Amino acid sequence: MIFDTHAHYDDEAFNEDRGELLGNLQSQGIGAVVNIGASIATSRNTIALTEKYPFIYGAIGVHPNETAELNEAKLAWLKEEAAREKIVAIGEIGLDYYWDEPDHETQKHWFVRQLDLAGEVNLPIVVHSRDAAKDTLDIIKASGARDMGGVIHCFSYGVEMAREYLNMGFYLGIGGVLTFKNGKKLKEVAAYAPLEQIVLETDCPYLAPVPNRGRRNSSLNLPYVVAALAEIKGISEEEVMEVTWKNAENVYRICVPRE
């Protein structure tokens, strides 16, 4: 069974067939999913999915590019909802300098506040970092997030940055980019990182692996990532699935029954 640690099944890309797709995941080898909030609205949607499907867990938080919507009242709502049994992380939170909105100071302010929140509710974090390597690392180091642990989602930096996070005990989220021809940097990171600190993710509906690159992604594509990681590590696909499942349980502090 495969554990998808980062999905967005509330996305409108799944509106036409969400129920059918999710209803069939477990019979096709996907044993558990963590749906990830990226705004207040998608955090609400995530909570709803966790209530409807036993194998879906959730993370709630506000993506850096959505942080202009945040205020202390909304942060208080996140804190209250984080007490739900199936909410297993605060995320996705972080920094994204690829886009200009909102400004970097707004992103950094709410990243710090959401890190504070994770500490208050004692949950791990799911970190989004794009074109913001130094600031992300500096803020995490200053925040005490090492004690909370978590996943550096869709890891996109090189081995040196990976070493920093691995040394702090974080897990690296690896998905479809591992199969891309231009994914050399991630392949190097996957070869370097201990399997015991890697988790599988889709970020669906985005970043579908080869041979489905450019199409809508779903957890059903994760076997392609498993195969690529097994080849890089020189181990069996079964070992990749087993170890990354345990890693997901460890980082999210849950024990998920396998059907």
From edge to edge, which strands make up the β-sheet containing 87-96? 2-7, 30-36, 56-60, 87-96, 125-130, 150-152, 171-174, 198-200
pLDDT tens for 30-73 read 999 999 999 999 999 999 999 999 999 999 999 999 999 999 99
Residue 226's pLDDT is 98
Residue 144's pLDDT is 85
Distance from C-alpha of 159 to C-alpha of 171, rounded to nearest angstrom? 14
Average pLDDT on 147-168 reads 97
Q: How confident is the model at residue 235 (pLDDT cuts 50, 70, 90)?
A: very high
State residue 36 phi and psi, 5-degree precision.
-115, 125
Residue 259's pLDDT is 65
Give the residue extent of every domain in the chain.
2-252
Distance from C-alpha of 130 to C-alpha of 221, rounded to nearest angstrom? 23
> Which of residues 207 and 99 earns the better pLDDT score?
207
Which residue reads 């889709």 in tokens?
202
Distance from C-alpha of 69 to C-alpha of 80, rounded to nearest angstrom? 18
pLDDT tens for 93-152 read 999 999 889 999 999 999 999 999 999 999 999 999 999 999 999 999 999 888 899 999
pLDDT tens for 173-198 read 999 999 999 999 999 999 999 999 99
Q: How confident is the model at residue 168 (pLDDT cuts 50, 70, 90)?
A: very high
Residue 257's pLDDT is 87
Residue 258's pLDDT is 82
Q: Which CATH class is domain 2-252?
A: alpha beta
pTM (2 decimals)? 0.98
Question: Of 72, 84, 153, which Cα lies nearest the Cα of 113?
Answer: 72
